[in-house]
Chain A
Amino acid sequence: MVTLEFHDPSGTIEVKQPHASRVSALDGRKLLEADFPGIEVLPIDAFPQGNAVIGSEETAALVKQSGVDAVIIGNAA
Protein backbone atom coordinates (compact mmCIF):
# COMPACT_ATOMS: atom_id res chain seq x y z
CA MET A 1 0.00 0.00 0.00
CA VAL A 2 1.36 3.42 -0.98
CA THR A 3 0.56 6.45 1.18
CA LEU A 4 0.88 9.89 -0.35
CA GLU A 5 0.71 12.80 2.09
CA PHE A 6 0.61 16.40 0.87
CA HIS A 7 -0.13 19.92 2.05
CA ASP A 8 -3.57 21.49 1.94
CA PRO A 9 -2.91 24.40 -0.43
CA SER A 10 -5.74 26.68 0.70
CA GLY A 11 -3.97 28.42 3.56
CA THR A 12 -5.57 29.36 6.84
CA ILE A 13 -8.16 32.01 7.58
CA GLU A 14 -7.88 34.30 10.59
CA VAL A 15 -11.06 35.48 12.25
CA LYS A 16 -9.93 38.76 13.76
CA GLN A 17 -13.25 40.23 14.78
CA PRO A 18 -16.76 38.93 15.41
CA HIS A 19 -19.71 39.88 13.24
CA ALA A 20 -21.61 42.91 14.52
CA SER A 21 -23.99 42.09 17.36
CA ARG A 22 -27.59 41.70 16.33
CA VAL A 23 -30.16 44.05 17.75
CA SER A 24 -32.51 42.41 20.27
CA ALA A 25 -35.66 43.82 18.67
CA LEU A 26 -36.63 46.17 15.87
CA ASP A 27 -39.23 48.23 17.78
CA GLY A 28 -38.13 51.83 18.19
CA ARG A 29 -35.36 51.51 15.55
CA LYS A 30 -34.80 53.51 12.35
CA LEU A 31 -35.27 51.17 9.37
CA LEU A 32 -36.15 51.08 5.73
CA GLU A 33 -39.54 49.51 6.65
CA ALA A 34 -42.79 50.86 8.10
CA ASP A 35 -43.95 47.62 9.76
CA PHE A 36 -43.21 48.76 13.26
CA PRO A 37 -45.10 51.50 15.05
CA GLY A 38 -42.97 54.57 15.69
CA ILE A 39 -40.35 53.52 13.19
CA GLU A 40 -38.75 56.29 11.14
CA VAL A 41 -38.75 55.17 7.51
CA LEU A 42 -35.70 56.15 5.47
CA PRO A 43 -36.03 56.28 1.67
CA ILE A 44 -34.08 53.63 -0.20
CA ASP A 45 -31.79 56.28 -1.68
CA ALA A 46 -31.04 57.87 1.71
CA PHE A 47 -27.43 56.89 1.32
CA PRO A 48 -25.15 56.94 -1.76
CA GLN A 49 -25.65 54.20 -4.28
CA GLY A 50 -23.37 52.68 -6.90
CA ASN A 51 -20.12 50.74 -7.08
CA ALA A 52 -17.81 53.68 -6.81
CA VAL A 53 -19.15 55.14 -3.57
CA ILE A 54 -21.05 52.48 -1.64
CA GLY A 55 -17.95 51.22 0.15
CA SER A 56 -16.28 54.57 0.73
CA GLU A 57 -15.34 56.07 4.06
CA GLU A 58 -17.60 59.04 3.25
CA THR A 59 -20.63 56.76 2.88
CA ALA A 60 -19.78 54.98 6.12
CA ALA A 61 -19.52 58.34 7.87
CA LEU A 62 -22.94 59.39 6.51
CA VAL A 63 -24.51 56.18 7.80
CA LYS A 64 -22.97 56.65 11.22
CA GLN A 65 -23.99 60.30 11.42
CA SER A 66 -27.58 59.42 10.57
CA GLY A 67 -27.94 57.47 13.79
CA VAL A 68 -29.40 54.33 12.20
CA ASP A 69 -29.04 51.19 14.30
CA ALA A 70 -28.60 48.74 11.43
CA VAL A 71 -27.85 48.75 7.70
CA ILE A 72 -28.86 46.43 4.90
CA ILE A 73 -26.40 46.62 2.01
CA GLY A 74 -27.25 45.44 -1.49
CA ASN A 75 -24.55 44.21 -3.89
CA ALA A 76 -25.02 42.79 -7.35
CA ALA A 77 -22.42 44.55 -9.48
Chain B
Amino acid sequence: MTRADFVGVMTNAVAGLGLAPDAAMVTFPIEMFLPGSDISAVEARKREFYEGLTRWRSAIATDVAGEAPMIKVQAASVEDAFSRANHMMLANRWGDGLPLWPPTRERADWILRGSTQPRRHRIGIFPPRGGVTTVETCAIALAMAGGRPEYLPVLVAAVDAFLDPESGSAQLQAASGSAFPVVIVNGPIGVQIRLNSGFGCLGPDPQRPAGASIGRALRLLQQNVGGALPGIGTMANYGGVRYTNAVFAEDEANLPPGWSPHATERHAFAHGQSSISLAFANGATNIRRRGAKKETPEEDALQGMYRMADFMRVPNMPGLAGYEHGTPGILMIPGVVANTMAGLGWTKASIREFLWEHSRIPTEHLRRAGCPAWLEIDSSKVVRESIALDPWPITASPDNFVVVVAGGGHPTNSYWLQGYSPGVVGRTVELPSGFEELLADTDRDLGPR
Protein backbone atom coordinates (compact mmCIF):
# COMPACT_ATOMS: atom_id res chain seq x y z
CA MET B 1 0.00 0.00 0.00
CA THR B 2 1.65 3.22 -1.05
CA ARG B 3 1.15 6.73 -2.33
CA ALA B 4 0.31 7.03 -6.01
CA ASP B 5 3.39 9.19 -6.55
CA PHE B 6 5.62 6.69 -4.76
CA VAL B 7 5.37 3.91 -7.36
CA GLY B 8 8.84 4.71 -8.73
CA VAL B 9 10.35 4.83 -5.25
CA MET B 10 8.81 1.48 -4.33
CA THR B 11 9.81 -0.15 -7.64
CA ASN B 12 13.37 1.01 -7.06
CA ALA B 13 13.35 -0.31 -3.51
CA VAL B 14 12.05 -3.68 -4.63
CA ALA B 15 14.65 -3.95 -7.40
CA GLY B 16 17.35 -2.93 -4.95
CA LEU B 17 16.48 -5.91 -2.78
CA GLY B 18 17.24 -8.23 -5.68
CA LEU B 19 13.62 -8.82 -6.59
CA ALA B 20 12.14 -8.24 -10.03
CA PRO B 21 11.46 -4.49 -10.35
CA ASP B 22 7.70 -4.71 -9.91
CA ALA B 23 5.46 -5.54 -6.98
CA ALA B 24 1.82 -6.01 -6.06
CA MET B 25 0.80 -2.47 -5.16
CA VAL B 26 -2.40 -0.68 -4.25
CA THR B 27 -1.92 3.07 -4.46
CA PHE B 28 -3.77 5.92 -2.80
CA PRO B 29 -3.42 9.71 -2.94
CA ILE B 30 -1.15 11.29 -0.33
CA GLU B 31 -4.09 12.78 1.57
CA MET B 32 -5.01 9.40 2.94
CA PHE B 33 -1.62 9.04 4.61
CA LEU B 34 -1.79 12.30 6.53
CA PRO B 35 -2.62 12.28 10.26
CA GLY B 36 -6.35 12.19 10.98
CA SER B 37 -7.33 11.29 7.43
CA ASP B 38 -10.28 9.20 6.29
CA ILE B 39 -8.96 5.71 5.61
CA SER B 40 -12.23 4.19 4.50
CA ALA B 41 -10.83 3.92 0.98
CA VAL B 42 -8.62 1.08 2.17
CA GLU B 43 -11.66 -1.07 2.96
CA ALA B 44 -13.42 0.03 -0.21
CA ARG B 45 -10.56 -1.40 -2.27
CA LYS B 46 -9.96 -4.52 -0.24
CA ARG B 47 -10.45 -6.77 -3.25
CA GLU B 48 -7.30 -5.32 -4.79
CA PHE B 49 -5.38 -6.31 -1.67
CA TYR B 50 -6.81 -9.82 -1.86
CA GLU B 51 -5.73 -10.02 -5.52
CA GLY B 52 -2.24 -8.90 -4.54
CA LEU B 53 -2.01 -11.58 -1.89
CA THR B 54 -3.35 -14.40 -4.04
CA ARG B 55 -3.29 -13.94 -7.81
CA TRP B 56 -0.66 -11.29 -8.57
CA ARG B 57 2.35 -12.47 -10.57
CA SER B 58 5.48 -10.54 -11.52
CA ALA B 59 5.60 -9.46 -15.16
CA ILE B 60 9.38 -9.91 -15.09
CA ALA B 61 10.01 -13.61 -14.85
CA THR B 62 13.66 -14.01 -15.74
CA ASP B 63 17.04 -12.83 -14.54
CA VAL B 64 17.84 -9.74 -16.56
CA ALA B 65 21.51 -9.45 -15.62
CA GLY B 66 24.03 -9.31 -18.37
CA GLU B 67 25.69 -6.71 -20.53
CA ALA B 68 23.88 -3.47 -21.21
CA PRO B 69 23.05 -3.06 -24.88
CA MET B 70 24.62 -0.47 -27.17
CA ILE B 71 22.34 2.24 -28.49
CA LYS B 72 22.51 3.32 -32.12
CA VAL B 73 21.40 6.52 -33.81
CA GLN B 74 21.74 7.38 -37.47
CA ALA B 75 21.72 10.82 -39.01
CA ALA B 76 22.79 12.77 -42.06
CA SER B 77 25.64 14.54 -40.27
CA VAL B 78 27.84 14.31 -37.18
CA GLU B 79 26.07 17.30 -35.66
CA ASP B 80 22.65 15.79 -36.29
CA ALA B 81 23.78 12.45 -34.85
CA PHE B 82 25.03 14.21 -31.72
CA SER B 83 21.75 16.07 -31.43
CA ARG B 84 19.67 12.91 -31.89
CA ALA B 85 21.77 11.08 -29.32
CA ASN B 86 21.12 13.85 -26.80
CA HIS B 87 17.38 13.79 -27.53
CA MET B 88 17.34 10.02 -27.10
CA MET B 89 19.19 10.19 -23.79
CA LEU B 90 16.74 12.75 -22.47
CA ALA B 91 13.76 10.75 -23.74
CA ASN B 92 15.14 7.72 -21.88
CA ARG B 93 15.54 9.86 -18.74
CA TRP B 94 19.33 9.46 -18.69
CA GLY B 95 20.21 13.13 -18.82
CA ASP B 96 20.04 16.23 -16.64
CA GLY B 97 18.92 18.85 -19.15
CA LEU B 98 22.49 19.91 -20.05
CA PRO B 99 24.28 18.60 -23.18
CA LEU B 100 25.71 15.14 -22.79
CA TRP B 101 28.69 13.53 -24.49
CA PRO B 102 27.35 10.27 -25.99
CA PRO B 103 29.36 7.51 -24.26
CA THR B 104 30.72 5.74 -27.32
CA ARG B 105 32.97 2.71 -27.01
CA GLU B 106 35.94 4.89 -27.93
CA ARG B 107 35.12 7.50 -25.32
CA ALA B 108 34.51 4.97 -22.55
CA ASP B 109 37.70 3.09 -23.49
CA TRP B 110 39.63 6.33 -23.29
CA ILE B 111 38.24 7.10 -19.85
CA LEU B 112 39.08 3.55 -18.74
CA ARG B 113 42.80 4.36 -19.16
CA GLY B 114 42.36 5.91 -15.70
CA SER B 115 41.41 2.60 -14.10
CA THR B 116 43.54 0.24 -12.05
CA GLN B 117 40.89 -2.49 -12.30
CA PRO B 118 39.40 -4.42 -15.23
CA ARG B 119 36.38 -2.70 -16.74
CA ARG B 120 33.99 -5.36 -15.43
CA HIS B 121 35.28 -5.07 -11.87
CA ARG B 122 32.17 -4.78 -9.74
CA ILE B 123 32.08 -1.96 -7.23
CA GLY B 124 28.63 -2.73 -5.91
CA ILE B 125 24.90 -2.32 -6.35
CA PHE B 126 23.63 1.25 -6.67
CA PRO B 127 20.72 1.92 -4.35
CA PRO B 128 17.81 1.99 -4.36
CA ARG B 129 17.20 0.57 -7.85
CA GLY B 130 20.04 -1.94 -7.50
CA GLY B 131 21.83 -1.27 -10.79
CA VAL B 132 25.07 -3.27 -11.02
CA THR B 133 27.92 -0.74 -10.86
CA THR B 134 31.25 -1.62 -12.43
CA VAL B 135 34.32 0.41 -13.27
CA GLU B 136 32.94 0.55 -16.81
CA THR B 137 29.61 1.92 -15.54
CA CYS B 138 31.57 4.73 -13.88
CA ALA B 139 33.59 5.37 -17.04
CA ILE B 140 30.36 5.60 -19.07
CA ALA B 141 28.93 8.18 -16.66
CA LEU B 142 32.19 10.15 -16.65
CA ALA B 143 32.23 10.14 -20.46
CA MET B 144 28.66 11.52 -20.53
CA ALA B 145 29.67 14.21 -18.04
CA GLY B 146 32.56 15.40 -20.21
CA GLY B 147 35.24 13.92 -17.98
CA ARG B 148 38.79 12.78 -18.55
CA PRO B 149 40.62 9.53 -17.66
CA GLU B 150 42.60 11.07 -14.81
CA TYR B 151 39.34 11.84 -13.01
CA LEU B 152 38.26 8.19 -12.96
CA PRO B 153 40.31 7.16 -9.88
CA VAL B 154 38.56 9.85 -7.80
CA LEU B 155 35.12 8.92 -9.18
CA VAL B 156 35.63 5.21 -8.50
CA ALA B 157 36.75 5.93 -4.94
CA ALA B 158 33.75 8.25 -4.44
CA VAL B 159 31.34 5.64 -5.80
CA ASP B 160 32.85 2.97 -3.56
CA ALA B 161 32.32 5.28 -0.57
CA PHE B 162 28.79 6.16 -1.76
CA LEU B 163 27.87 2.47 -1.93
CA ASP B 164 29.18 1.82 1.59
CA PRO B 165 26.07 1.35 3.79
CA GLU B 166 27.70 3.63 6.37
CA SER B 167 27.13 6.57 4.01
CA GLY B 168 23.36 6.23 4.33
CA SER B 169 22.99 6.54 0.56
CA ALA B 170 20.29 3.86 0.29
CA GLN B 171 17.88 6.08 2.22
CA LEU B 172 19.15 9.45 1.04
CA GLN B 173 18.79 8.57 -2.65
CA ALA B 174 15.00 8.44 -2.24
CA ALA B 175 14.43 10.77 0.71
CA SER B 176 12.63 14.08 0.48
CA GLY B 177 15.33 16.21 2.06
CA SER B 178 17.34 17.06 -1.08
CA ALA B 179 20.60 15.57 0.22
CA PHE B 180 23.54 15.77 -2.16
CA PRO B 181 26.94 14.10 -1.86
CA VAL B 182 29.99 16.19 -0.99
CA VAL B 183 33.35 14.73 -1.97
CA ILE B 184 36.41 16.23 -0.26
CA VAL B 185 39.68 15.27 -1.93
CA ASN B 186 43.00 15.21 -0.10
CA GLY B 187 46.51 14.47 -1.24
CA PRO B 188 48.43 15.41 -4.37
CA ILE B 189 45.77 14.22 -6.81
CA GLY B 190 43.72 17.37 -6.36
CA VAL B 191 46.35 19.58 -7.97
CA GLN B 192 47.34 16.86 -10.45
CA ILE B 193 43.89 16.55 -12.02
CA ARG B 194 43.08 20.30 -11.81
CA LEU B 195 40.52 20.07 -9.02
CA ASN B 196 39.69 23.37 -7.36
CA SER B 197 40.53 24.15 -3.73
CA GLY B 198 40.47 27.94 -3.99
CA PHE B 199 38.34 30.67 -5.52
CA GLY B 200 34.98 29.34 -6.64
CA CYS B 201 35.77 25.79 -5.57
CA LEU B 202 32.08 24.88 -5.31
CA GLY B 203 31.20 26.26 -8.70
CA PRO B 204 32.23 26.15 -12.36
CA ASP B 205 35.88 26.85 -13.21
CA PRO B 206 37.28 26.33 -16.72
CA GLN B 207 40.84 26.31 -15.31
CA ARG B 208 40.04 23.53 -12.87
CA PRO B 209 37.15 21.58 -14.45
CA ALA B 210 37.59 18.20 -12.73
CA GLY B 211 35.08 18.80 -9.94
CA ALA B 212 32.24 19.57 -12.34
CA SER B 213 32.70 16.37 -14.37
CA ILE B 214 33.29 14.08 -11.40
CA GLY B 215 30.31 15.47 -9.50
CA ARG B 216 28.06 15.36 -12.57
CA ALA B 217 29.12 11.77 -13.31
CA LEU B 218 28.23 10.80 -9.75
CA ARG B 219 24.81 12.42 -10.16
CA LEU B 220 24.25 10.59 -13.46
CA LEU B 221 25.06 7.31 -11.70
CA GLN B 222 22.68 8.20 -8.87
CA GLN B 223 19.93 8.80 -11.40
CA ASN B 224 20.55 6.32 -14.19
CA VAL B 225 21.94 3.36 -12.28
CA GLY B 226 20.47 4.08 -8.85
CA GLY B 227 17.05 5.19 -10.07
CA ALA B 228 16.94 8.62 -8.39
CA LEU B 229 14.70 10.39 -10.92
CA PRO B 230 13.00 13.51 -9.52
CA GLY B 231 9.48 12.75 -8.32
CA ILE B 232 9.72 9.12 -9.37
CA GLY B 233 12.75 7.60 -7.66
CA THR B 234 13.70 10.49 -5.41
CA MET B 235 11.13 12.43 -3.43
CA ALA B 236 13.45 15.39 -2.85
CA ASN B 237 11.27 18.47 -2.88
CA TYR B 238 14.00 20.66 -4.38
CA GLY B 239 17.13 18.73 -5.36
CA GLY B 240 19.46 21.68 -4.90
CA VAL B 241 23.18 21.50 -5.91
CA ARG B 242 22.48 18.26 -7.73
CA TYR B 243 23.70 19.13 -11.24
CA THR B 244 27.27 18.55 -10.12
CA ASN B 245 26.99 17.76 -6.42
CA ALA B 246 30.00 19.26 -4.59
CA VAL B 247 33.49 17.96 -5.37
CA PHE B 248 36.53 19.97 -4.28
CA ALA B 249 40.01 19.58 -2.83
CA GLU B 250 41.19 20.74 0.59
CA ASP B 251 43.69 23.58 0.20
CA GLU B 252 46.55 21.62 1.76
CA ALA B 253 49.16 24.11 0.56
CA ASN B 254 47.61 26.65 2.93
CA LEU B 255 47.01 24.43 5.95
CA PRO B 256 48.54 26.18 8.96
CA PRO B 257 51.52 24.48 10.61
CA GLY B 258 50.22 21.77 12.92
CA TRP B 259 46.81 21.50 11.25
CA SER B 260 46.20 18.06 9.75
CA PRO B 261 44.38 17.45 6.50
CA HIS B 262 40.74 16.41 6.86
CA ALA B 263 41.46 12.87 5.62
CA THR B 264 44.13 12.37 8.26
CA GLU B 265 41.89 13.62 11.07
CA ARG B 266 38.72 11.82 10.08
CA HIS B 267 40.01 8.66 8.40
CA ALA B 268 43.61 8.33 9.66
CA PHE B 269 44.95 8.39 6.10
CA ALA B 270 48.61 9.32 5.91
CA HIS B 271 49.47 12.91 5.08
CA GLY B 272 50.25 12.87 1.37
CA GLN B 273 47.99 9.91 0.53
CA SER B 274 45.48 10.80 -2.17
CA SER B 275 42.00 10.08 -0.87
CA ILE B 276 38.36 11.09 -0.87
CA SER B 277 35.94 11.67 1.97
CA LEU B 278 32.21 11.51 1.24
CA ALA B 279 29.39 12.98 3.28
CA PHE B 280 25.93 14.28 2.45
CA ALA B 281 24.71 17.84 2.78
CA ASN B 282 21.28 19.42 2.36
CA GLY B 283 22.21 23.09 2.29
CA ALA B 284 24.89 25.48 1.11
CA THR B 285 25.33 28.82 2.87
CA ASN B 286 27.86 31.60 2.48
CA ILE B 287 28.77 33.21 5.82
CA ARG B 288 30.23 36.72 5.83
CA ARG B 289 32.59 36.12 8.72
CA ARG B 290 34.81 39.21 8.44
CA GLY B 291 34.30 42.38 10.48
CA ALA B 292 33.39 45.71 8.95
CA LYS B 293 35.63 48.13 10.82
CA LYS B 294 39.05 48.09 12.46
CA GLU B 295 38.59 44.99 14.55
CA THR B 296 41.73 43.53 16.09
CA PRO B 297 42.71 40.11 14.73
CA GLU B 298 41.44 38.56 17.99
CA GLU B 299 38.07 40.34 17.72
CA ASP B 300 37.72 39.45 14.04
CA ALA B 301 38.42 35.79 14.72
CA LEU B 302 36.10 35.53 17.71
CA GLN B 303 33.26 37.51 16.15
CA GLY B 304 33.59 35.44 13.00
CA MET B 305 33.35 32.27 15.07
CA TYR B 306 30.19 33.49 16.81
CA ARG B 307 28.69 34.44 13.46
CA MET B 308 29.44 31.00 12.02
CA ALA B 309 27.97 29.28 15.10
CA ASP B 310 24.85 31.43 14.74
CA PHE B 311 24.36 30.11 11.21
CA MET B 312 24.54 26.56 12.57
CA ARG B 313 22.09 27.09 15.45
CA VAL B 314 19.09 25.90 13.42
CA PRO B 315 16.67 23.00 13.86
CA ASN B 316 18.06 20.87 11.04
CA MET B 317 16.00 17.79 11.82
CA PRO B 318 17.34 15.77 8.87
CA GLY B 319 20.72 16.21 10.53
CA LEU B 320 19.56 13.78 13.22
CA ALA B 321 20.50 11.03 10.75
CA GLY B 322 24.15 11.80 11.52
CA TYR B 323 23.78 12.89 15.13
CA GLU B 324 25.96 10.16 16.59
CA HIS B 325 28.42 9.14 13.88
CA GLY B 326 27.91 11.41 10.89
CA THR B 327 28.32 15.14 10.69
CA PRO B 328 26.14 18.21 11.31
CA GLY B 329 27.94 19.76 8.37
CA ILE B 330 31.12 20.82 6.65
CA LEU B 331 32.66 24.19 7.48
CA MET B 332 35.00 25.56 4.82
CA ILE B 333 37.39 28.35 5.82
CA PRO B 334 39.90 30.02 3.51
CA GLY B 335 43.58 29.39 4.10
CA VAL B 336 44.27 33.03 4.94
CA VAL B 337 41.66 32.87 7.73
CA ALA B 338 42.93 29.52 8.98
CA ASN B 339 46.49 30.83 9.19
CA THR B 340 45.47 34.01 10.99
CA MET B 341 43.39 32.02 13.48
CA ALA B 342 46.17 29.47 13.96
CA GLY B 343 48.52 32.34 14.75
CA LEU B 344 46.12 33.35 17.52
CA GLY B 345 46.10 29.85 18.96
CA TRP B 346 43.03 28.36 17.31
CA THR B 347 43.21 24.73 16.21
CA LYS B 348 40.71 22.62 14.27
CA ALA B 349 39.80 21.00 17.60
CA SER B 350 39.19 24.31 19.40
CA ILE B 351 37.14 25.53 16.44
CA ARG B 352 34.96 22.41 16.69
CA GLU B 353 34.55 22.81 20.44
CA PHE B 354 33.51 26.45 20.03
CA LEU B 355 31.03 25.68 17.27
CA TRP B 356 29.52 22.80 19.23
CA GLU B 357 29.10 24.89 22.35
CA HIS B 358 27.75 28.02 20.67
CA SER B 359 25.43 26.39 18.16
CA ARG B 360 23.31 24.79 20.89
CA ILE B 361 19.60 25.51 20.65
CA PRO B 362 17.51 26.45 23.73
CA THR B 363 14.89 23.81 24.47
CA GLU B 364 12.18 26.45 24.35
CA HIS B 365 13.10 27.18 20.73
CA LEU B 366 13.09 23.49 19.88
CA ARG B 367 9.71 23.07 21.49
CA ARG B 368 8.03 25.97 19.69
CA ALA B 369 9.27 24.53 16.38
CA GLY B 370 7.88 21.06 17.18
CA CYS B 371 11.32 19.46 17.17
CA PRO B 372 10.94 17.22 20.25
CA ALA B 373 8.51 15.05 18.25
CA TRP B 374 11.30 14.29 15.75
CA LEU B 375 13.77 13.50 18.52
CA GLU B 376 11.28 11.23 20.30
CA ILE B 377 10.68 8.99 17.28
CA ASP B 378 14.32 8.73 16.22
CA SER B 379 15.78 5.23 16.03
CA SER B 380 18.93 6.34 17.88
CA LYS B 381 18.87 6.17 21.69
CA VAL B 382 21.49 8.93 21.80
CA VAL B 383 19.15 11.24 19.87
CA ARG B 384 16.13 10.36 22.02
CA GLU B 385 18.09 10.99 25.22
CA SER B 386 19.44 14.30 23.91
CA ILE B 387 15.96 15.79 24.46
CA ALA B 388 17.01 16.24 28.10
CA LEU B 389 19.85 18.61 27.19
CA ASP B 390 19.16 22.32 27.42
CA PRO B 391 20.45 24.02 25.36
CA TRP B 392 20.39 21.18 22.87
CA PRO B 393 23.59 20.44 20.93
CA ILE B 394 23.09 20.06 17.19
CA THR B 395 25.36 16.99 17.18
CA ALA B 396 26.43 14.44 19.78
CA SER B 397 30.10 15.41 19.76
CA PRO B 398 32.25 18.34 18.66
CA ASP B 399 34.36 15.82 16.75
CA ASN B 400 31.49 15.34 14.30
CA PHE B 401 32.00 18.78 12.75
CA VAL B 402 34.01 18.58 9.53
CA VAL B 403 36.36 21.57 9.24
CA VAL B 404 38.31 21.95 6.00
CA VAL B 405 40.57 24.66 4.65
CA ALA B 406 39.32 25.65 1.21
CA GLY B 407 38.09 28.69 -0.65
CA GLY B 408 39.46 31.82 -2.26
CA GLY B 409 42.38 33.60 -0.63
CA HIS B 410 40.73 36.48 1.19
CA PRO B 411 39.14 36.57 4.61
CA THR B 412 35.61 37.81 3.98
CA ASN B 413 33.63 34.60 3.85
CA SER B 414 33.45 31.06 5.05
CA TYR B 415 30.98 28.44 3.85
CA TRP B 416 28.69 26.00 5.60
CA LEU B 417 27.43 22.85 3.93
CA GLN B 418 24.66 21.82 6.33
CA GLY B 419 24.73 18.08 6.89
CA TYR B 420 22.22 15.32 6.32
CA SER B 421 24.83 12.66 6.71
CA PRO B 422 24.61 9.38 8.64
CA GLY B 423 28.32 8.84 8.09
CA VAL B 424 31.50 10.32 6.67
CA VAL B 425 33.14 7.64 4.54
CA GLY B 426 36.74 7.71 3.36
CA ARG B 427 38.58 5.84 0.61
CA THR B 428 42.11 6.01 -0.69
CA VAL B 429 42.55 6.76 -4.38
CA GLU B 430 44.39 4.18 -6.46
CA LEU B 431 46.26 5.39 -9.53
CA PRO B 432 46.99 3.44 -12.73
CA SER B 433 50.56 2.89 -13.81
CA GLY B 434 50.23 5.28 -16.75
CA PHE B 435 48.90 8.16 -14.67
CA GLU B 436 51.71 10.56 -15.57
CA GLU B 437 51.00 10.00 -19.26
CA LEU B 438 47.36 10.96 -18.66
CA LEU B 439 48.50 14.19 -17.03
CA ALA B 440 50.83 14.89 -19.96
CA ASP B 441 47.87 14.42 -22.30
CA THR B 442 45.92 16.98 -20.27
CA ASP B 443 48.77 19.49 -20.52
CA ARG B 444 48.67 18.97 -24.27
CA ASP B 445 44.88 19.27 -24.51
CA LEU B 446 44.20 22.04 -22.00
CA GLY B 447 47.53 23.85 -21.78
CA PRO B 448 49.91 23.83 -18.81
CA ARG B 449 48.52 24.08 -15.30
| Interface of A toward B, CB cutoff 8 Å | 1-19, 22-26, 33, 35, 50-53, 56, 70, 72-77
Q: Is the CB of B144 within 8 A of A9?
A: yes
Q: How many A-B residue pairs have CB under 8 A?
A: 160
In the complex where A9-B140, A13-B132, A15-B19 touch, is A4 in contact with B73 (Cβ < 8 A)? yes
| Interface of B toward A, CB cutoff 8 Å | 1-3, 6, 10, 15, 18-21, 23-24, 30, 33, 43, 46, 49-50, 52-58, 60, 62-78, 80-82, 84-85, 89, 92, 94, 102-105, 107-108, 125-126, 129-134, 137, 140-141, 144, 176, 220, 224-225, 377-379
In Å, the complex CA distance between A5 and B74 comes to: 9
SS class, residues of chain B in contact with chain A: mixed
Q: Is the CB of B74 within 8 A of A13?
A: no
Q: Is the CB of A15 within 8 A of B62?
A: yes
Q: Is the CB of A76 within 8 A of B33?
A: yes
In the complex where A4-B81, A9-B225 touch, is A18 in contact with B58 (Cβ < 8 A)? yes
Q: Is the CB of B71 within 8 A of A1?
A: no
Cross-interface CB contact of A16 among B18, B58, B224, cutoff 8 Å: B18
Output the least CB separation between B140 and chain A (Å). 5
Shortest Cβ-Cβ A-B pairs, 3 listed: A16-B18, A11-B131, A76-B33
For B84, what are the chain A residues with a Cβ–Cβ distance below 8 Å? 4
Q: Is the CB of A11 within 8 A of B71?
A: no
For A13, what are the chain B residues with a Cβ–Cβ distance below 8 Å? 15, 21, 64-65, 129-132
Output the least CB separation between B36 and chain A (Å). 14
Q: Is the CB of B62 within 8 A of A7?
A: no
Q: Is the CB of B130 within 8 A of A23?
A: no
Cross-interface CB contact of A3 among B3, B81, B225, cutoff 8 Å: B81
Q: Is the CB of B3 within 8 A of A11?
A: no
Q: Is the CB of A72 within 8 A of B46?
A: no
In the complex where A15-B19, A26-B50 touch, is A10 in contact with B224 (Cβ < 8 A)? yes
Q: Is the CB of B132 within 8 A of A11?
A: yes
Q: Is the CB of A8 within 8 A of B53?
A: no
* Closest A residue to B34 using CB positions: A76
In the complex where A13-B131, A14-B130 touch, is A5 in contact with B70 (Cβ < 8 A)? yes
A-B contact pairs, 27 of them (CB 8 A): A7-B68, A7-B105, A8-B71, A9-B224, A11-B133, A12-B67, A13-B64, A15-B20, A15-B60, A15-B62, A15-B63, A15-B64, A16-B18, A18-B58, A22-B55, A23-B53, A24-B54, A26-B50, A26-B53, A26-B54, A33-B43, A33-B49, A51-B377, A56-B379, A72-B53, A74-B1, A77-B176
